[in-house]
């Protein structure tokens, strides 16, 4: 049974070595509220981000802001990495300064959306220093990060997962995916599914609008029917219809995760015909939209593209 994030869980419960201090590297849109949840739960958090404003925010919330990733790791029983990709994760975790700062027996928790095979390789390298690695990417967006209700997909050795479970439970509901790398694999595959849902949902919504169906009416019907998804229940009503496009998750980050999933499928000889086509369409959108575009802007891009095509054919 997954831990209840609302329950009172002592930070050293079920841990062979208690975790009293957590380092946190990456205080962005997701990392910041996640770190706040730990601070609110009474965990000592020492955090770093390249943004001075993010460091100040952590300090104002009751955490300790430090000047670099090594200082975040120094004296910490566990270190959470919430970074853009495997390149950045490895740049931090493989650095001599970071490794020297880790205490013997510490656990690194990679909550980023990293590449599964690279996660496995990193786990082997860290094991050579006596450091455990747990991959624990999340789903739920900024709103769930704020409330501590994220879905946390966990991969790792049983003893490492057991040790960090009380920490992870402060940020959401834990789902055991399997060995090291399994969490990152599930996260990428989940986002490929989510992105494909959003793409086809947007195509269907645009077609409905052109036929004269009010989008609110169509969403109400679909959400009571078999076509419902996170896109119809959350993304379209909350970010697309109001035209705010501010879910907090960038389009290019979604595309990165989709490519990880498609690459994983290819390496395993698993079919990914629809997935590959979805990746190609999202890549077209990324090329056309600003670098900072939210992933929900795929709907606006589709509408604009359809309008342009209609004008050219008339």
Q: For the domain that residue 148 is a member of, what is the CATH number?
A: 3.40.50.720
Identify whether residues 267 and 296 lie together within a single domain.
yes
Confidence label for 92 from pLDDT (cuts 50, 70 and 90): very high
Residue 159: pLDDT over 70: yes
pLDDT of residue 309: 67
Average pLDDT on 45-74 reads 98
Handedness of CA 55, 61, 65, 71 (dihedral sign): negative
% residues pLDDT > 90 (the chain): 91
Identify whether residues 217 and 263 lie together within a single domain.
yes
Identify whether residues 132 and 280 lie together within a single domain.
no
CA distances from residue 145 to 35, 132, 189, 194, 289 in whole angstroms, order as listed: 9, 25, 20, 18, 26
Residue 7 domain-assigned? no
Q: Does residue 147 contact residue 172 with C-beta atoms inside 8 Å?
A: no
Q: How wide is the angle at C-alpha 258 spanned by C-alphas 254 and 260, nearest 5°?
A: 120
Average pLDDT on 139-146 reads 94
Average pLDDT on 138-158 reads 96
pLDDT of residue 1: 32
Average pLDDT on 273-288 reads 97
* Domain span including residue 199: 185-309
Residue 290 domain-assigned? yes
Residue 6: pLDDT over 90: no
pLDDT averaged over every residue in the chain: 93
Identify whether residues 216 and 143 lie together within a single domain.
no
Catalytic positions: 187
Residue 138 domain-assigned? yes
């Amino acid at each position: 049974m997954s831990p209840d994030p609302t329950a009172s869980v002592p930070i050293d419960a079920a841990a062979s070595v208690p975790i009293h201090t957590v380092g946190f590297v990456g205080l962005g849109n997701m990392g910041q509220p996640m770190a706040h949840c730990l601070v609110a739960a009474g965990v000592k958090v020492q955090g770093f981000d390249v943004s001075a404003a993010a460091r100040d925010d952590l300090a104002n919330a009751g955490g300790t802001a430090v000047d670099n990733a090594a200082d975040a790791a120094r004296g910490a029983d566990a270190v959470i990495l919430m970074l853009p990709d495997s390149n950045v994760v490895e740049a931090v975790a493989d650095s001599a300064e970071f490794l020297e700062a880790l205490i013997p027996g510490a656990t690194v928790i990679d909550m980023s959306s990293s590449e599964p095979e690279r996660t496995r390789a990193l786990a082997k390298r860290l094991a050579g220093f006596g450091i455990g690695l747990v991959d624990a990417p999340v789903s739920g967006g900024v709103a769930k990060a704020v409330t501590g209700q994220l879905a946390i997909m966990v991969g790792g050795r049983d003893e490492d997962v057991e040790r960090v479970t009380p920490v992870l439970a402060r940020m959401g509901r834990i789902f055991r995916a399997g060995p090291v790398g399994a969490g990152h694999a599930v996260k990428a595959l989940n986002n490929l599914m989510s992105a494909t849902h959003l793409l086809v949902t947007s195509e269907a919504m645009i077609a409905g609008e052109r036929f004269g169906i009010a989008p609110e009416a169509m969403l109400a019907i679909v959400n009571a029917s078999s076509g419902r998804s996170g896109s119809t229940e959350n993304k379209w009503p909350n970010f697309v219809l109001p035209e705010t496009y501010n879910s907090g998750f960038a389009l290019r980050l979604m595309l990165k995760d989709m490519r990880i999933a498609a690459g994983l499928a290819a390496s395993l000889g698993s079919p990914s015909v629809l997935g590959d086509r979805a990746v190609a369409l999202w890549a077209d959108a990324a090329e056309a939209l600003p670098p900072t575009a939210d992933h929900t802007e795929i709907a606006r891009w589709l509408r604009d593209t359809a309008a342009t095509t209609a004008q050219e054919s008339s």
